[in-house]
Amino acid sequence: MKTDQKFALLSVYDKTGIVDFAKVLLKSGYTIISTGGTLKVLEENKIKVTPIEEVTGNPRDSFDGRMKTISFQIESGILFDRKNPKHISEAQKLKVPQIDIVVCNLYPFEERPGIETIDVGGPTMIRAAAKNNSNVLVIVSPDDYGMVSDALENGKVTEKLRKELASRAFYHLSFYDSQIGKFFSERDLPAGRQEFPKELTIPLRRTNVLRYGENPHQEGALYLMPKTNSPFAKLKHLWGRELSGTNIGDIQAGLETVRQFSEPAAAVIKHLSPCGIATGKDSFEALFRATEADPVSAFGGVIVLNKPMDLKAAKNIATFKNEREGNTDIVAVPSISPDALELLKKVRKSMGVYTFGPIENKRSERWDLKYFAGAVLLQDFDDNVQNCFKDWKIVTNKKPTEKQMEQMKFGFKAVKAVRSNAVIVIDKDIPMTRGIGSGQTSRVGATKIALEQAGNFTKGGILISDSFFPFEDSVEMSAKAGIVAIVEQGGSVNDRASIDAADKANIPMVFTGRRAFRH
């Protein structure tokens, strides 16, 4: 090989755009080295190319192709320092090619996870090229061919471009390797066992640049995990405003609320907490109830359903606008009929309408992640609520009716969706919230807000707490307001005070034995 030759190494699984990019490289004076399938595609398109085995000395497709690129010649050609005279002399003496461009994308582990789709040679070349970015351009995505082509053709390969490509390469490797780590960590685990790795990298891919983050002066973007079955993976914008970070949070809060119900359910969300939660025989009834639960707070809210929206259900939003002068910011539903969408377009031009497909019963993710600056909490999802009902205990002399027990089960699912400390009042007959006290530091304060918001619906209503009542105060306040049944966690050293207060008021009280905090 000539010592003044400059080489580009092309070894890609995704062949998109590789022929046109190879033509740019030839025009820019590069000799192309290539492997396997990439070599075949280039040769079929009359691109002059050097087979990699002529450089490595490795037999073609040795060990079923596992040793195509791994060699002293290739890694040295990528790694040696072009500014170091000793390195230059060694490269000439050892006939090491000066590989100035590495174009590589990897086996499709994301689509076909398994031992044979774990790429070894590709990551080795990418890592070497990214490390030596002051001398070598590394390209891991066909999306970057145009940018690099422009730089080569205009003679403007800048330091900034080199570092940007190196950064993308290292993130790409981390994204790839984290999926492999997840693959091994999930294999052959005993049923029900949760394992938290000592070190963890979470693969995320950007899907949306948002209108803004939580506030207009904050930039934001949405990222998804590979192959997630999250409704966000199928989120489709049909009309109106683009999403902000606040909208994303509210849609998520709504999804976590309605996914608990098999029957049609609706949630109206503001600032990550529900204004109203309800179920019904169809989406119309569920949404009507959820909006009526607190129409004042529902102004400017986000509506989320777990069943499709038809024209009848959409008319709720038009009625809310016309009769209560209430605006809805976002509607997010599994699907929407064409006539319902046309109606919503007329209700409010800026209202965002989104679909996300059916909500999967089983999550694809193992962990519920909560991010804090510089730290991430991993925990199990707080699912399988149905399994806890059998452990509920009636602790008072008076027993709840069968109807009240059904309402209590709805109420416990609803309070799980409310930010803690949370106390809610539900209707005595209808599966809907009437008052929600959320995000309070005092449980008495949360009780007071829920009762006040429920108004006259406290008469005969049922009160649900996400944790225990350690004293009689909240029970006495509820009884005075006309509450006829109470659900709480139990487990306080002062349970007896709460039980005695309920007995005195002749109110049935049920202990769930399960806290339902949401922070």
pLDDT of residue 92: 93
- The whole domain housing 306 covers 236-355
Measured in Å, how far apart are the chain's first and last C-alpha atoms?
64
- Which residues of 334-421 form beta strands (DSSP E)? 352-355, 368-372, 375-379, 393-394
Residues whose CB is less than 8 angstroms from the CB of residue 154 and which lie 6 or more positions away in sequence, other chains included = none
Query: 305 and 328 in contact (C-beta within 8 Å)?
Result: no
Instruction: Give the separation between CA 397 and CA 503, rounded to whole angstroms.
Output: 6
Residue 474 lies in a domain: yes
Structural domain total, the chain: 3
271 a catalytic residue: yes
43 and 162 belong to one structural domain: yes
Indicate the length of the chain as a whole number.
519
**Quick one: angle between helices 72-79 and 121-131, nearest 10?**
20
342 and 442 belong to one structural domain: no
Residue 375 lies in a domain: no
Tokens representing 490? 């139990």
Tokens representing 379? 């925990």
Tokens representing 4? 């003044």
**Residue 372 backbone class (left: φ over 0; alpha: ψ -120 to 50; beta: rest):** beta
293 and 396 belong to one structural domain: no
Dump pLDDT digits (tens) for 425-448. Answer: 999 999 999 999 999 999 999 999
pLDDT of residue 401: 96
28 and 139 belong to one structural domain: yes
* DSSP code at position 359: P
Return the H-helix or E-strand segment holding 443: helix 443-454
pLDDT tens-digit profile, the chain (519 residues):
555 689 999 999 999 999 999 999 999 999 999 998 999 999 999 999 999 999 988 887 778 777 888 899 999 999 999 999 999 999 999 999 999 999 999 988 999 999 989 999 999 999 999 999 999 999 999 999 999 999 999 999 999 999 999 999 999 999 999 999 988 887 655 555 567 888 889 999 999 999 999 999 999 999 999 999 999 999 999 999 999 999 999 999 999 999 999 999 999 999 999 999 999 999 999 999 999 999 999 999 999 999 999 999 999 999 998 888 889 999 999 999 999 999 999 999 999 999 999 999 999 998 899 999 999 999 989 998 888 999 999 999 999 999 999 999 999 999 999 999 999 999 999 999 999 999 999 999 999 999 999 999 999 999 999 999 988 999 999 999 999 999 999 999 999 999 999 999 999 999 999 999 998
Residue 362 lies in a domain: no
* Active-site choice (6, 15, 87, 131): 131
Q: Work out the mean pLDDT of the chain and round it to a whole number.
A: 94
Helices (H), 111-265: 121-131, 145-153, 159-185, 245-258
54 and 168 belong to one structural domain: yes
Tokens representing 432? 């809907």
* DSSP code at position 336: B
The CATH number assigned to the domain holding 172 equals 3.40.50.1380
* Active-site choice (234, 271, 321, 398): 271
Q: Residues of the chain with pLDDT > 90: what percent? A: 87
35 and 168 belong to one structural domain: yes
Return the H-helix or E-strand segment holding 503: helix 495-504
Dump pLDDT digits (tens) for 95-149. Answer: 999 999 999 999 889 999 999 899 999 999 999 999 999 999 999 999 999 999 9
Instruction: Give the separation between CA 446 and CA 451, rounded to whole angstroms.
Output: 9
- Within 13 Å and on the Cβ side, how many CA atoms surround 186? 12
| Measured CA distances, 192 to 229, 360, 514 (Å) | 20, 20, 19
